[in-house]
């Protein structure tokens, strides 16, 4: 008979069954085992159909040798669920026995049989019913059980799954209750614990039934309270050199009635709790690859057959496989944490709030088991109220891909700070990728949006084209030269300049959104365009859909089997800056320029109704323009922008950036930037390809 078919079923209690009652608050809901039947002494055990009440064979009269009269020491055909057919008997298919069936073993002691109380008769067979599963007495049963239990434990990938697998595999087949203690905190890998050894109760499982009210599942408070109780000593500090420390150091499981265990259990469970008498409890240390990480206590009811010496070997196997699985789960959890932190730090924590554009983003890893990847997005404020929008994808889904992605993203931010054209940024990214290695390939799309000119400049390096959703609900795929991926080397990148009307939404994404095993990239792009158009129809032609809701709707287009790659999504809503909110002038680099700048700023503020800012703006404009005129050789630019704040920008052809310093008492100058720093809401200086821009912002009252 297939051992997997036989042994997996008795250890599974995950499907809801009738008769489910609550277990310990820290345990799981377990099914109350159905009673077993005892046939007449002369009858062979009956095989049951799945779903029917199982029957267990009764032991025949025993002779002096402990072997049933008229039979050999080898179990007869049909003598248990794992027995083989006798010679000459056809090996017909027999249905899987119910989960509570444990084969009766020859040689059972008479007092053990008497301790299993009959509770009634089966309505179909008229045979006597017994409580609870009977113990495993044959080596074959133990081997099959250990094989099934270790397979179930090995299926877990995290700590909770492994501990639950241990509990569900052993209750009720091997024990009636189990307590799992783990070290707190659990050491990871080669970490050497520095504090004392502390064990915390991680999980308990048991068989709940009405007889708990009478007998209880031990440990229970002793002696006056025999009702069902929970273990109160959830946290145990192991005393160095104590009895519990000696048992854990010994690694091998021991019976509870052993001298070492009798002294160790009160330390683990507390002085007010006791375990069943005799060999009905096994304390098994959990030892990982390098150190003890916990302990397991297996318990049986007083009316059930006690553990045997061979059961110590079973407990040792269960403890060993569980400890190694817990070690792997802790290491996996640490790696997953590192991967999550790495991916989180590689991507922007928050998006900026540049003038004239609203932003929203999403990132989805390819799978829970592969949480890092090479996809990234970014939004970088630029001088002149512009903003750079970047999305890229490094090939692969490994830590190496994530590390390369981080380097390319940092490089892109640095290049954006130099205010280079988009095609030049991609060219330098291509050179950087070649310096990182010969096989460092990535795609990238770099766009610069100017809210004043309502224009956007886009350069592409082998990335899927962006989609523009217009205010009226029309969605179009922008025609952008594809270009070669970053890392190829020796190629030129081309930039195109397109209109970016107010109210339009630009969607940048990675290929994981539109490409999968079920569809090619262009089919996915067309589906994305249709999805955007359908979403825009919901809100109407005059009202663009909210950005956050739009991102969620876009991700909803992913169906089962569509998550083959990471997904990075960046949405930008173009609001722009109205022409009547912008004032722009050229000033000749001469001594009269600061005075002219003050007059022009005063007139613009009067036109906008911001006269209360006149004194501050005149003072700051005069200081910044004076510094620019002193070193400039070409006309100086002055621009005022009215949005939610008042922004002033002064540009010149000198690349050196001003630095704030503390002027000495004898210095005639050097106090202009100090005034700007004290009066402005924010200020800064940015180097351009043709010079620099110094800007400051003031609140509008």
- DSSP code per residue over 545-596: PPHHHHHHHHHTT--TT--SS-EEEEEEEE----GGGEEEEEE-SSTTHHHH
Flag the least confident range among 337-346, 413-422, 504-513.
337-346
Classified by CATH at the fold level, domain 579-699 comes out as Heat Shock Protein 90 (3.30.565)
128: left (phi over 0), alpha (psi -120 to 50) or beta: beta
Please choose, from the candidates 65, 63, 130, 73, the residue with its C-alpha nearest in 3D space to the C-alpha of residue 106. 73
User: For residue 222, what pLDDT band results from cuts at 50, 70 and 90?
Assistant: very low
Q: What is the DSSP string of 521-551?
A: HHHHHHHHHHHHHHHHHHH-TTSPPPHHHHH
Contacts with 215 (C-beta within 8 Å, 6 or more apart), sequence order: 226, 301, 302, 303
Contact partners, residue 135, CB within 8 Å, separation at least 6: 102, 105, 304, 305, 307, 308
Instruction: Grade residue 36 by pLDDT with cuts at 50, 70 and 90.
Output: very low
Neighbours of 146 (CB within 10 A): 21
- Whether the upstream peptide bond of residue 525 has omega within 30° of 0, thus cis, is no
And the tokens for 276?
Answer: 């069943």
pLDDT at 301: 87
User: How do residues 230-271 score in pLDDT, each as one tens digit?
Assistant: 455 678 888 888 888 888 888 889 898 888 888 888 888 877
pLDDT number for residue 561 = 56
What value does the CA radius of gyration of the chain take, rounded to a whole number of Å? 38
The mean pLDDT of 664-672, rounded to a whole number, is: 67
> For residue 368, what pLDDT is reported?
56
Do 348-574 and 579-699 agree at the fold level? no
Domain residue extents for the chain: 139-206+233-337, 348-574, 579-699
Residue 417: exposure state from Cβ atoms within 10 A (0-12, 13-18, ≥19): middle
CB 95 within 8 A of CB 48: yes
Cis status of the peptide bond prior to 653, with omega within 30 of 0 = no
For the stretch 455-471, pLDDT in tens is 999 999 999 999 999 99
CATH architecture designation of domain 139-206+233-337: 2-Layer Sandwich (3.30)
pLDDT of residue 370: 52
- pLDDT score recorded for residue 102: 36
Query: What does the pLDDT average to over 350-366?
Result: 90
For position 688, what pLDDT does the model report? Answer: 80
- Can you give the pLDDT at residue 31? 36
Mean pLDDT across the stretch 35-39?
42
pLDDT over 90 at 346, yes or no = no
CB 459 within 8 Å of CB 425: yes
Q: How many residues does the chain have?
A: 701
pLDDT category, 673, cuts 50, 70, 90? confident
Please tell me the distance from the alpha carbon of residue 166 to that of residue 164, in angstroms, as a whole number: 5
Mean pLDDT is highest, among 19-23, 32-36, 372-376, 627-631, for 627-631
CB 565 within 8 A of CB 366: yes
Candidate from 85-94, 126-135, 358-367, 383-392 with smallest mean pLDDT:
85-94
- Give every CB contact of residue 382 below 8 A, 6+ residues apart in sequence: 388, 416, 419, 448, 686
In 185-242 the beta strands, taken as DSSP E runs, fall at: 198-206, 220-221, 235-237
pLDDT score for 74: 36
The count of other CB atoms within 10 Å of the CB of residue 414 is: 14
Give the SS3 label for residue 455.
Answer: strand
Percent above pLDDT 90 for the chain: 32
What CATH code is assigned to 348-574?
Answer: 3.60.40.10
Q: Is residue 294 pLDDT above 60, yes or no?
A: yes
Supply the mean pLDDT for the chain. 77
The closest of 320, 172, 171 to 251, measured between CA atoms, is 320
Instruction: Judge whether residue 371 has pLDDT over 50.
Output: yes
The values of phi and psi at residue 243, to 5°, are -65, -40
Query: What is the C-alpha separation between 219 and 675, in angstroms, rounded?
Result: 76
Euclidean distance between CA atoms 696 and 586, whole angstroms = 18
Categorize the per-residue pLDDT at 137 as very low, low, confident or very high, splitting at 50, 70 and 90.
Answer: low
Q: Which residues in 43-60 are b (16+ Cβ under 10 Å) and which e?
A: eebebbeeeebbbbbbbb
* Contact between 386 and 392 (Cβ < 8 Å): no
Q: What is the pLDDT of residue 367?
A: 61
- Please report which confidence band the pLDDT of residue 497 belongs to, taking 50, 70 and 90 as the band edges: very high
| Average pLDDT of span 398-403 | 81
Q: Residue 667: pLDDT band by 50, 70, 90 thresholds?
A: low
């Amino acid at each position: 008979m297939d051992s997997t078919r036989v042994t997996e079923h008795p250890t599974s209690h995950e499907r809801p069954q009738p008769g489910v009652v609550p277990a310990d608050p820290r345990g799981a809901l377990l099914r109350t085992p159905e009673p077993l039947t005892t046939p007449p002494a002369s009858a062979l055990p009956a095989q049951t159909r799945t779903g029917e009440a199982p029957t267990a064979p009764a032991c025949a009269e025993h002779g002096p040798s402990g072997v049933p009269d008229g039979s050999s020491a080898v179990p007869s055909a049909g003598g248990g669920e794992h027995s083989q057919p006798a010679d000459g008997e056809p090996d017909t298919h027999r249905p899987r026995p119910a989960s509570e069936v444990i084969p009766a073993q020859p040689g059972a002691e008479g007092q053990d049989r008497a301790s299993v109380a009959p509770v009634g008769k089966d309505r179909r067979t008229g045979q006597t019913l017994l409580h609870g599963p009977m113990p495993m007495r044959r080596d074959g049963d133990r081997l099959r059980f250990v094989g099934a239990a270790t397979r179930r434990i090995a299926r877990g990938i995290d700590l909770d799954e492994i501990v639950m697998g241990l509990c569900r595999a052993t209750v009720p087949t091997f024990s009636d209750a189990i307590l799992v203690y783990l070290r707190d905190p659990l050491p990871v890998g080669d970490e050497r614990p520095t504090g004392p050894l502390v064990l915390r109760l991680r999980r308990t499982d048991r068989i709940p039934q009405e007889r708990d009210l009478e007998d209880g599942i031990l440990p229970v408070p002793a002696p006056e309270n025999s009702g069902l109780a929970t273990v109160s000593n959830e946290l145990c500090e192991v005393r160095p050199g104590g009895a519990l420390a000696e048992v854990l150091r010994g690694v091998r499981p021991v019976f509870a009635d052993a001298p070492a265990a009798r002294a160790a259990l009160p330390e683990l469970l507390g002085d007010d709790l006791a375990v069943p008498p005799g060999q009905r409890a096994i304390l098994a240390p959990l030892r990982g690859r390098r150190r003890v990480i916990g302990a397991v206590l297996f318990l049986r009811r007083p009316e059930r057959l006690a553990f045997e010496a061979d059961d110590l070997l079973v407990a040792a196997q269960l403890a060993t496989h569980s400890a190694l699985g817990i070690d792997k789960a802790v290491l996996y959890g640490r790696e997953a944490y590192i991967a999550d932190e790495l991916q989180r730090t590689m991507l922007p924590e928050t998006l900026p709030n540049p003038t004239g554009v609203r932003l929203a983003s999403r990132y989805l890893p390819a799978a829970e088991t592969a949480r890092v990847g090479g996809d990234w997005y970014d939004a970088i404020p630029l001088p002149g109220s512009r903003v750079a929008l970047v999305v890229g994808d490094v090939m692969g889904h490994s830590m190496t891909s994530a590390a390369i992605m981080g380097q390319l993203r940092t490089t892109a931010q640095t290049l954006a700070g130099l205010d280079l054209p988009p095609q030049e940024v991609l060219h330098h990214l291509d050179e950087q990728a070649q310096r990182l290695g010969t096989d460092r390939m990535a795609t990238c799309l770099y766009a610069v949006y100017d809210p004043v000119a309502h224009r956007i400049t886009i350069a592409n390096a082998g990335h899927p084209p962006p989609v523009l959703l217009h205010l009226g609900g029309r969605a179009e795929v922008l025609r952008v030269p594809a270009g070669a991926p970053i890392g190829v080397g020796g190629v030129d990148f081309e930039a195109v300049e397109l209109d970016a009307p107010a109210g339009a939404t630009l969607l940048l994404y990675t290929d994981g959104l539109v490409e999968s095993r079920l569809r090619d990239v262009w089919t996915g792009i067309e589906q994305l365009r249709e999805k955007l158009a359908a979403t825009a129809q919901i809100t109407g032609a005059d009202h663009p859909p909210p950005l956050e809701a739009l991102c969620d709707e876009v991700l909803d287009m992913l169906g089962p089997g569509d998550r083959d790659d990471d997904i990075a999504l960046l949405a930008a809503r173009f609001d722009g800056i109205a022409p009547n909110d912008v004032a722009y002038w050229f000033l000749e680099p001469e001594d009269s320029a600061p005075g002219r700048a003050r007059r022009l700023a005063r007139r613009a503020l009067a036109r906008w109704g911001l006269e209360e800012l006149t004194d501050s703006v005149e003072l700051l404009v005069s200081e910044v323009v004076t510094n620019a005129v002193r070193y400039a050789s070409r006309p100086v630019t002055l621009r005022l922008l009215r949005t939610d704040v008042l922004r002033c920008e002064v540009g010149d052809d000198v690349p050196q950036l001003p630095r704030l310093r503390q002027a000495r008492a004898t210095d005639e100058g050097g106090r202009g930037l100090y005034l700007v720093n004290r009066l402005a809401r924010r200020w800064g200086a940015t180097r351009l390809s043709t010079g620099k821009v110094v800007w400051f912002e003031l609140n509008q009252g």
